[in-house]
Chains A and B, each alone.
Chain A
Amino acid sequence: MANAQKSETNNHRLLKSNNSSSKKNEGRGKFLVFTSAVIVIIATIAITVFLGYKGIRTFFVYDVSLWNFLTTTGWDGTENSGAFAFIFGSFAVTFLAALFAAPLGIGSAIFMTEIAKKWGQKFLQPVIEILVGIPSVVYGLIGVTVIVPLIRNHVGGLGFSLLAGMIVVGVMILPTITSISADAIKAIPSDIKDASYGLGATRWQTIYKVIIPAALPSLMTAIVLGMARAFGEALAVQMVIGNVKGLPESLLDSAATLTSIITLDMPHTTYGSVHNSLLWSLGLILLIMSYVFIIIIRFVSSRRKI
């Protein structure tokens, strides 16, 4: 074994320099996957930069006042346009939708994971996961054909309203919240629950004192993810909310959101006009909000105990 090679340690068969083919193969693979990963970064930066640039231009090139834009209403496509009504509309739809979807979704998740375990996980969970994938235009269509007439005939108003928007979006994010919450509750180690039952606690006491506190950060994440989806939803909302450019005075009034106005106005504005530029600023608000939601989710999930 110990033969002539011994002295030539810089030309040994085990050195990399003598095995270039495997190195080349490895290098090519690494380059390929790295490039793909970098494309993800490039896409993100490109979106942020281009939307930021187009959105900010409104305030520098067209001399629109940022304060005026954010705090006043009245949308006529000129320098004096204010987007407050739409910002309000987006937030209103998001919070109202979460207000009924969150308890319902988390309640259902608890039912699936703690009360009817077998049935819940074998049947309900797959069905809910499939419902997460139902396209939003379909929710919008149901809103138009079922919910809007229902409100018009039984509650009042035109039917196309904040209330309709909230219901449609709430139903849409319900499966999302339920499915993530159910996963979170299932992730709680069973010995924690067993300990509680072992101490003679009832199911409700266990849920209230053990399961909800332990899963709270993940449940919050589920709600925020649902809200992020609600905030960015365009077509389903646009189809039922009525798209009136003023502030709504009640739930039964028509309203508009950032997304619904972009959807409606974008095709009708000319490239380079003030009106067009204003729409990019609305888009920038959506982008900023999706960063905000990410930050909230990171903050919430950093408190996760399990």
Chain B
Amino acid sequence: MPKLDKRTINEQEYDKPNMKKRESKEIRTESSEFNTTETLMNLKNLSVYYADNQAVKNIDMPIEKNKVTAFIGPSGCGKSTLLRTINRMNDQISVARYEGEINYDGLNILRKEVDVVTLRKEIGMVFQEPNPFPKPIKQNITHALKFMKKPKNEIEEIVESSLKQAALWEETKDRLNNSALSLSGGQQQRLCIARALALKPKVLLLDEPTSALDPISSAKVEDLIMELKKHYTIAVVTHNMEQAARISDNTAFMYNGDLIEFGETSRLFTNPREKRTEDYISGKFS
């Protein structure tokens, strides 16, 4: 199994993060068994259109607090669109339009009156391809903080704490003023996560965060996700079903804009209720 290979490489070359992984695995089992669930966000009859083309169709589902929710499905099934709707990044596309509601903290965040700028501070996003600013590592993190006019001493603290949270501090603390582009792909992606964490968001949206990375870097990012869900609610879009199975608590399977099945990951992968889910996770189509 390729999965096993990955782990061996991991153990040989990256002892430390692997220790963390074991810990976080334990926490995961605990939390899914004993924690009560609390809904942070509720999607109600949500549809997204690009001009006349309905990309997301009447979806109802919750996103639970301090859990990892994975969105899986074949390319073009609408999972990325759905994710980009949650922080209103789809507003960028002039033909995009929404119907239905996303209720978050007592507010339908799809309302016109919502300030998307403030919303995006609370709902951070990390993209498929690492996209650090072509600036020094440190400035990647301070960029947004300066815009928000945080005091200087606080900024210094946040730089350190967010890089630590993203498990990047040890690798970068001596070269914070080097260009972020000098980092490896995996490090860049963790920097992007650190950059989002610096704003102390409540939700983190990850759009195929490991698809542009090599297996070792991917494993590191996965470890990080497991670690982060203690403090953050995470929604992740992934092509990689093994990844979804490894890191998520809940999984939503989408197909052609419809939400086919939603449920606890362990149940959905072992005992899918829908035929199409079963076909997809068993690799009959992709």
Contacts and interface: CB of A to CB of B under 8 A. Distances in A.
Direct contact of A and B (CB under 8 A): yes
Interface string B93-135: 0000000000001111101011101110010000000000000
Interface string A118-153: 000000000000000000000000000000000000
Interface residues of B, number: 17
B38 A14 contact: no
Interface stretch (A2-10, A37-45, A289-297): A2-10
B40 interface: yes
Nearest to B123: A14
Q: How large is the interface on A (under 10, 10 to 19, 20 to 34, 35 or more residues)?
A: 10 to 19
A5 B105 contact: yes
A8 B109 CA distance: 14
B65 interface: yes
Contact of B115 (A5, A7, A19): A19
B65 to A, nearest CB: 7
A15 B106 CA distance: 12
B115 A14 contact: yes
A48 interface: no
Contact of B106 (A6, A16, A22): A6
Contacts of A2: 105-106
A26 B40 CA distance: 30
B38 A16 contact: no
Contacts of B65: 1
Contacts of B202: 1
Interface of B: 38, 40, 65, 105-109, 111, 113-115, 117-119, 122, 202
5 contacts: A5-B106, A15-B107, A15-B115, A19-B117, A22-B115
Given A12-B106, A14-B122, 9 more contacts: A1-B202, A5-B106, A9-B107, A14-B109, A14-B115, A15-B107, A15-B113, A16-B113, A19-B115
Interface of A: 1-2, 5-9, 12-19, 22-23, 26
